[in-house]
Copies of this chain bind each other. A is one copy, B any other.
């Protein structure tokens, strides 16, 4: 229970979580075995049970952790409050983009394996997600007062899809580098939001 012990054990836990996230993202929750996760951190198989109650617990901690980090980050950026709603939206975008570009495996697992959770954990994750979305909806509606709440919420979901699309990209260098990509995503998202309340000009 000493601080030293706690931090050492914590780093081990986090190491395991990181590798688990990567493997889950690559092959899916059911597609990776505990032995693989263990091997990825240098111990083998059942050794993991000294740190986690089970495979499910790892996934739960991952998903809840991501959701909390996103929500906390969003709240922080809003609290810091830029001069204008536009500035706040920029901050939210940059925060989410950093996350999407730096923690691809987490993003992937986040909206892919939610249903594998126990009822309680899933409910908690969904609640956190919902709060995060509402954060964005409020800001978007300040920037674009013309849009209805329903439209704005759908737009926020869609823009999340846009921002989270990076994991699906092919590995080779056929795509922009990290900073260029961040700028591009930022612009695309703003462009989408700008169109949210525009008159339905396009022919459908």
A contact residues vs B (CB 8 Å cutoff): 26-31, 87, 90, 93-94, 111-113, 115-116, 150-151, 153-155, 157-166, 168-169, 174-176, 181-196, 198, 200-204
Contacts and interface: CB of A to CB of B under 8 A. Distances in A.
Contact of A193 (B165, B186, B191): B191
7 contacts: A28-B116, A111-B168, A154-B181, A158-B185, A161-B163, A188-B195, A191-B193
- Report the copy number of this chain in the oligomer: 2
> What is the interface of chain A mostly: helix, strand, loop, or mixed?
helix
A190 B195 contact: yes
A189 B192 contact: yes
B153 A174 contact: yes
A162 to B, nearest CB: 4
A154 to B, nearest CB: 5
A198 B187 CA distance: 8
Contacts of A87: 203
A200 B179 CA distance: 12
A169 B154 contact: yes
A93 B185 CA distance: 19
A166 B154 CA distance: 9
